Amino acid sequence: MSTFVIGYYALLIAASCLAAYFNKRTVFMLIFSLTLVSFVLGIVGGVWALQMVTGFSAALALAAGTSYAFREFLIIIASKNLAKELRTAPLTAAFGMFVIFTYAIAGIFAPAIAPYGEAEIVSSAFAPPDENLLLGADQLGRDMFSRIIFGARNTVGLALLATILAFLMGAAAGLLAATRGGILDQFLGRTADVIMSVPSLIFALLMLSIFGTNLLVIVVVVAVIYSPRVFRLTRAVAGNVVVMDYIEAAKLRGEGNWYLIRREILPNSTAPLIAEFGLEFCFVFLLIAGLSFLGLGIQPPTADWGSMVRENATLISFGDMTPLIPAAAIALLTVAVNFVVDWMLFRSSGLKEQ
């Protein structure tokens, strides 16, 4: 038995005993469960399996520590009311905010961070990583690291624009339908049902095949596809607010629809709509990445994570994991946004942690 194995199990057992001695039941269950799992994996996979568990645990601990430090940083710089809310944020939400912040910095300052241009050929095709190419080169000899950095600006930026447009269209239609009702409500509702009845990917492929793959066309098509989701949520939330007594009192005072929307309905509908914005961004982001993977999204030589996966997919056959890096970037941002959205939904639901 190697020194690593002895030290590994000794550390876990000592940590379990300390947690039990100080009556930290949650920590004890976590560490002792890890000890039991490690025991089984050690029998099946040997030292290599224990090293994998150690690496995963270290990465998890690093993520938790980074999330905690970032949450404390936000609490310090935030206003008093916002800091009070941030103190209730779980580490998963703090991790999501840290990832979103990192992606935003990468996208905004991409030209300063990336060592090369997004279309600059700097090496031979599929060159391996070295001191100049951190992640190697793609099929044309372009720096993969630089293209991933620029992809944060292009892919995420385009998804954000499409989400904002979809949200504005859907929310405006939902608010109008809730306040006016009648024929307008029926017409908008049936229009949303028709759009939602067509699968989003098929609808996008059809529209882009007809109107082309211009960036403006992509934004408008994706916004049209996902605006009915926002419309239905806004219509439901605003419909619950419209029947309240203070809305009737405002109507008796002679207030118009614009006043009701701006001063009465929106302030009481903000929390679920903000959470829906995060979910909508995830759907839009994944759709745009999927369209780029199919060749109908952002066109080359513009860097895009979806097209980068397609262009370098042949490397997987040779055991090279480079194509999985842009795929991992897509997955990480999606998970991070969902972490933040889950926390916001929990807050807006009015539930309290026990």
- Of 87, 110, 129, the one marking the end of a domain is 87
d(Cα 332, Cα 99) in Å, to the nearest integer? 8
Question: Residue 342 is part of a domain; what is its CATH number?
Answer: 1.10.3720.10
Q: How far apart are CA 275 and CA 17, in angstroms?
A: 42
Query: What's the rounded Cα separation, in Å, for the pair 127 and 122?
Result: 10
Backbone angles phi, psi at 327, to 5 degrees: -65, -40
Residue 63 lies in a domain: yes
DSSP 107-141: HHTHHHH-SS-TT-B-SSTTPPP-SS-SS-B-TTS
Nearest to 170 by CA among 218, 263, 251, 238: 238
Same domain, 181 and 318: yes
Residues 70 and 190 in one domain: no
Query: Is the overall model pTM greater than 0.85, yes or no?
Result: no
CB 232 within 8 Å of CB 192: yes
3-state DSSP assignment of residue 143: strand
Task: Assess whether 191 and 259 both reside in one domain.
Answer: yes
Q: Residue 40 corresponds to which tokens in the numbers above?
A: 């089984």
Examine residue 122 and state whether it is found in any structural domain, yes or no: no
Say if CB 177 and CB 185 are below 8 A apart: yes
Q: Are residues 169 and 255 in the same domain?
A: yes
One domain for residues 149 and 83? no
Is 110 within a domain?
no
Q: Are residues 259 and 150 in the same domain?
A: yes
Which distant-in-sequence residues (6+ apart) come within 8 Å of 214 by Cβ? none
Q: What is the residue range of 75's domain?
A: 3-87
CA distance 282 to 159: 9
Residue 168 maps to a domain: yes
Pair 315, 308: CB distance under 8 Å:
no
Shared-domain flag, residues 226 and 81: no
Q: Are residues 77 and 165 in the same domain?
A: no
Q: Which residue bears the tokens 């859907």?
A: 170
CB 175 within 8 A of CB 247: no
Q: Per-residue pLDDT tens, the chain, 354 aa: give them.
A: 577 778 878 888 888 888 888 888 888 888 888 888 888 877 777 777 877 878 888 888 888 889 999 999 999 988 888 888 888 888 899 999 999 999 999 889 988 898 888 888 888 888 888 888 888 888 888 888 898 999 888 888 999 999 999 999 998 898 888 888 788 888 988 988 898 888 888 888 888 888 888 889 999 999 999 999 999 988 888 888 777 777 778 777 777 777 777 777 877 777 788 888 888 898 899 898 888 888 888 888 888 888 888 887 777 777 777 778 888 899 999 999 999 988 887 876 654 444
Q: How many domains does the chain have?
A: 2
